Structure 1
């Protein structure tokens, strides 16, 4: 009886361990370690992230080892978001320059012990008119870039440039740098050319699966963690999964949610909690990680927004997010920013947010790749 019980427990343990594995069975040691650490932190902590944090900020650009977050707290964010946007739709020289700048940013982040996530606002490969949908010029392109589509070869070329970047992105230890890759985000909206209004469910899933398979299996990219993140236009697990490509094709389940957190003066924290609980529950049942992949309040006019709104939601029982990322601080616009800088109205509250043991910033991370 004891032997049988031991075997059953062992099998359950192995199943649980298997559920924690990345969809890339050949993922690098550092990438596997990061994934397991993110899963371990979720629930007891949340990592704070900021888009383009070290590339530029409110009124500055390109300063070494600077971020607005660090200027307020003394630490960079734990997670820094970047974008593959500059890899297409520009001159050859501009693309090369963008790639080199991004390589430097990602390398610096890894060498400091921080974590990188990269989204992809990429130029419409058919109408060549940017990443936002334009009713007068844009052409529905997802069907065209899927296998067998008219622009599939062009799409493969774009993915090859991303794979080349992934292979070049190495830390000072020589290891390939793990990257959370988040393509086709907010796909349930109608503002991007890959939005729900302009592509079928079947075509979206076909492109997603090809993207992962081509990068992972053909181009041998083994340092990516794949994040799936619609906008917040769902109210049930069934809604959330409407375009889900399957658990063999996703590592992180996320959501971008500005609408419930104060955008245009609208606050619906119960709705935000409800949606985050859907993510948390699904992640737990399916061995995934959940994250609030984008949120924030532009200009942060609410002086206590960080603790009374964001942290309050993230600490709610049943909400288990590995990280939260707020959007960028524009270098020129006086009003387009989502993290405070010295003197900003919410800076004091943000410092309390930083000091809370529940939140983790870059200085708090201990060997995330081991």
Structure 2
């Protein structure tokens, strides 16, 4: 059952599907963050298929992007990401695929360039979790801004795999810079606000860290996940990584590879019954070239009987 007691029927249907498929199949996923979505075109060209799950990025929808003090790389990334919500709508309404959102959140105040990175902002997440501070007010303001975007999907009864504060175990993003306990508090603040204030009952809550310390609690998490970047063309079942991840809670949760640089070895995953529900290859060269995963392996993965591709995805909403 979803952690949100008021979760929509569509969320319940997706959660049931994820629970039932884990250990019996592997949902194929691909992240995209640009309007042209080269990754999807590449996969279709090589395999003749599309992933069942598509990832989208909300970075350009951050309210506090410092355009005046950003480098060319940052500005290009923001520009390429603009209006990608149109592609997200096409994916769910026309392709009928599953969807997940990530948010490289430009710091709510302060910062320059890619200020979702700790090195480019002095925004203090440890102050942001304290009510009454300027940092907290800015945090809530940004959350509310994105909530309005998510409400459009709610109103159309579209369930979203929502993966906020990703890679919370690291210090490279501002939300992890002050340690896992602060990241835990940030997540719980968002959960409470999105569930009890904005009534975003279309969200499936995905926690993204393998650390037991900082886990926000079973009552606010639907799926546990982690991000992994093995060496180029090294494909395994990721069994040790799975066993480490499930140590963060004694409760059986749906498990997923929130980001990965190469396809898992789907034959080994199937043979060992490792219940990853989905994997999601990251964008750009990870998903649109053969640098990390060869065309031969990509084709074999998408045509494996264990793989759940878009054409094998049941109608869930």
Fold conserved between structures, TM > 0.5: yes
User: 1:337 is matched with which residue: 280, 286, 298?
Assistant: 286
Give the structure 2 partner of residue 27 of structure 1.
7
Asked if 1:355 is matched to 2:310, the reply is no
Give the gaps of 5 or more residues in structure 1: 1-20, 61-65, 235-239, 298-305, 330-335
Of 77, 82, 90, the match for 1:108 = 90
Whether 2:258 is the aligned partner of 1:275: answer no
Q: Residue 70 of structure 2 corresponds to which residue in structure 1?
A: none
Secondary structure in 1 aligned to 2:256?
strand
- Measured after TM superposition, the shift of residue 113 of structure 1 is 1.7
Q: Partners in 1 of 2:50 and 2:212 — Cα distance? A: 34
Distance 2:212 2:159 in 1: 26
Give the match for residue 237 of structure 1.
Answer: none
Shift of 1:150: 2.4
5+ long unaligned stretches in structure 2: 68-74
Distance 1:280 1:205 in 2: 17
Shift in CA distance, 312/155, structure 1 to aligned 2, threshold 3 Å: same
Question: Which structure 2 residues correspond to residues 251-290 of structure 1 after superposition, within 5 A?
Answer: 251-258=222-229, 261-262=230-231, 269=236, 272-279=238-245, 285-290=250-255
Q: Provide the rounded CA distance (Å) in 1 between the counterparts of 2:161 and 2:11.
A: 9
Matching residue of 1:186: 167
Contact 2:35/2:87 (8 A) holds in 1: yes
Residue 7 of structure 1 corresponds to which residue in structure 2?
none
Larger radius of gyration: 1
Choose which of 303, 314, 322 in structure 1 pairs with 2:269: 314
Pairing 1:1-370 to 2, within 5 Å after superposition:
21-52=1-32, 55-58=35-38, 67-88=41-62, 89-90=64-65, 101-111=83-93, 112-129=95-112, 130-134=115-119, 137-148=120-131, 149-169=133-153, 175-195=156-176, 198-230=177-209, 240-258=211-229, 261-262=230-231, 269=236, 272-279=238-245, 285-297=250-262, 306=263, 310-315=265-270, 317=272, 319-329=274-284, 336-340=285-289, 346-369=294-317
2: distance between equivalents of 1:29 and 1:337?
34
Q: 1 CA distance for matches of 2:34 and 2:123?
A: 34
Give the superposition deviation at 1:214: 0.2
- How much has 1:53 moved relative to structure 2? 7.4
Matched position secondary structure for 2:219: coil
Deviation at 1:242, TM superposition (A): 0.7
**SS where residue 225 of structure 1 aligns?**
strand
Q: Would you say the 8 A contact 1:22–1:225 is kept in 2?
A: yes
* Cα deviation code 1:274-318 (max 9, x no counterpart): 1212335767x5242100111114xxxxxxxx5xx6325533525
Segment of structure 1 superposing worse, 48-57 or 105-114: 48-57
Aligned residue pair count: 303
Shift of residue 54 of structure 1? 7.9
Q: Which one is further off, 354-363 or 152-161?
A: 152-161
Output the CA distance in 2 between the equivalents of 1:361 and 1:55: 22
What displacement does 1:109 show? Answer: 1.4
Q: How many Å separate the matches in 2 of 1:181 and 1:366?
A: 20
> By how many angstroms is 1:91 displaced?
8.0
SS in 2 for 1:101: coil
1:56 is paired with a residue whose SS is coil
Q: CA deviation at 1:257?
A: 0.7
Cα distance in 1 for partners of 2:293, 2:26 equals 23
